[in-house]
Structure 1
């Protein structure tokens, strides 16, 4: 089965994406700081029955990094809408991990009629991060919004800081080459400038409007979570499953934040079960 990699322009920004297979469309959104490669273990199997599209989100991977574009939440959700329109995805399945799950939830609440199903994997979703990571992210946002501190970030050791943090996930989630693919762009000043621009617009606080909209979601929803996540606690997962009427919760015991790569077979099984679901809820279970 051929893997097709493409570039398209959406809203004036160049975006890279992988496409494979035919059938009911499935859009896969990666998290921070990854790109479409985080789905490498699942794409081949999912593409046997679906048209799978896995983009590098704007700013990540091979997609354009422009410090001139806004990255506030609803602008990003609207970019997702523009992307799906450009790709001709009118009624599709949407799965997102981490930042991708954050955007997917906002999209589902704004454009529920465009979705067949929704899956959220280890994401801040409607809430936010664990206390330690919340403070770190809030500090990054604070610095990015102040010119002198932002300049220091542009010239600072962002690549090495990311590598030091993520090195703990080698080889459990990704290898050295994959880690370099995820963060190598931070070696360059243009990449660090874009990183600063991204966090200038990012809001770390919980989003009350997303929480209030959970009860209105009526599409089959999968909430898939590694319960050893140091960034996004399982309380988020259980709250999503409790509040979304047609949600199924799958807990992955002992699995961390990068569940898609750390427990690829378990995530694949959960996604396949989700894609096979009828329009009724399913019970909670562990894998």
Structure 2
């Protein structure tokens, strides 16, 4: 497979501040943007994108700092804030001729998608979120020994220097750990795709760390301000998650309701990499959302 989705066209689109994103585009019809998670690239959508391109223009970028997209140096907290990364996606879609579009995100891409829904309500028509909570709620539910499952969040929240050094010293083991322990069906990520994920992540350690560091600081600040102001996501929202709430002692749907006025929340028996482990389930979720 290499590093491309078969049948999709590839291009680079300038978005802001000298940053260009690598993007795969396929199909025709109403636009749907798919944002990948960690430690992946846009390739995680290969099954879903191929199916949905039958009746949608499917747009699969590598996020700022990931894959073949540009990786600007972390000048300040805003360089990798989800607000900045969401603005990238809006600019990307506009550069491809789409002023309004549906948006789905997984993991890190889901955090970008949530911020896009809050910051650009006139642009995002539908929003799908795979396997995350909003940033502020994520930090709120982590406590005690159960927070050990999210050790990487705390590691990459540290000031610049040490986390980058530690991860770079054993990058394949670090990123491979998550591919191994988060998948209920490891065979869903074949060897060539795994190799590509590890290569791309190994080459992007500083920007990946900067993305996570932002979530411990400026992203939480942005969420806190929206919560205080009573801001909500107004477009139809579908959330699918593993049942982490049962494991960690919280009600995920209850945490989501204050954020989304039109919410469908469901759990899945698939692992974290659900677009690769259970693509038909994700395709069904997205088709159902887009029909609302």
Task: Report how far residue 79 of structure 1 moved.
Answer: 2.3
Task: Report how far residue 241 of structure 1 moved.
Answer: 4.3
Tell me how far apart the structure 2 counterparts of residues 268 and 233 of structure 1 sit (CA, whole Å).
29
8 Å CA contact 1:227–1:255 kept in 2: the answer is: no
Tell me how far apart the structure 2 counterparts of residues 199 and 245 of structure 1 sit (CA, whole Å).
28
**Cα distance change of structure 1 residues 181 and 234 upon mapping to structure 2, 3 Å threshold:** farther
**Cα distance change of structure 1 residues 87 and 195 upon mapping to structure 2, 3 Å threshold:** same
Q: Please point out which of 92, 104, 107 is paired with 1:95.
A: 104
Q: Structure 2, unaligned stretches of length 5 or more?
A: 1-5
Which residue is 1:109 aligned to? Answer: 118
Which residue is 2:170 aligned to? Answer: 157
Tell me how far apart the structure 2 counterparts of residues 135 and 262 of structure 1 sit (CA, whole Å).
24
1:235 counterpart = 2:240: no
**Cα distance change of structure 1 residues 41 and 185 upon mapping to structure 2, 3 Å threshold:** closer
Segments of 4+ in structure 1 off by > 6 A?
Answer: 229-234
**Cα distance change of structure 1 residues 234 and 25 upon mapping to structure 2, 3 Å threshold:** farther
**Cα distance change of structure 1 residues 46 and 140 upon mapping to structure 2, 3 Å threshold:** same
1:192 counterpart = 2:187: no
Q: Structure 1, unaligned stretches of length 5 or more?
A: 278-287
Equivalent position SS for 1:257? coil
Which residue is 1:244 aligned to? Answer: 260
Which residue is 2:8 aligned to? Answer: 3
Task: Report how far residue 97 of structure 1 moved.
Answer: 0.9
**Cα distance change of structure 1 residues 119 and 210 upon mapping to structure 2, 3 Å threshold:** farther
Tell me how far apart the structure 2 counterparts of residues 79 and 187 of structure 1 sit (CA, whole Å).
23
Which residue is 1:84 aligned to? Answer: 93
Higher RCO (CA < 8 A, seq sep 6+)? 2
TM-score by length of 1: 0.82
Which residue is 1:262 aligned to? Answer: 277
Q: RMSD between aligned alpha carbons? A: 2.9
Tell me how far apart the structure 2 counterparts of residues 231 and 85 of structure 1 sit (CA, whole Å).
41
Measured against aligned partners, the alpha-carbon deviations of 1:225-259 in whole angstroms (never above 9, x if no partner) come to: 2326999987334422465221112222x222222
Which residue is 1:128 aligned to? Answer: 138
Bigger mean CA offset, 83-92 vs 100-109: 83-92
Measured against aligned partners, the alpha-carbon deviations of 1:124-182 in whole angstroms (never above 9, x if no partner) come to: 3242165224443123221xx154x2563375212222213323436343122212211
Which residue is 1:209 aligned to? Answer: 225
Bigger mean CA offset, 221-230 vs 131-140: 221-230
TM-score by length of 2: 0.80
Tell me how far apart the structure 2 counterparts of residues 93 and 46 of structure 1 sit (CA, whole Å).
12
**Cα distance change of structure 1 residues 196 and 228 upon mapping to structure 2, 3 Å threshold:** closer
1:18 counterpart = 2:24: yes
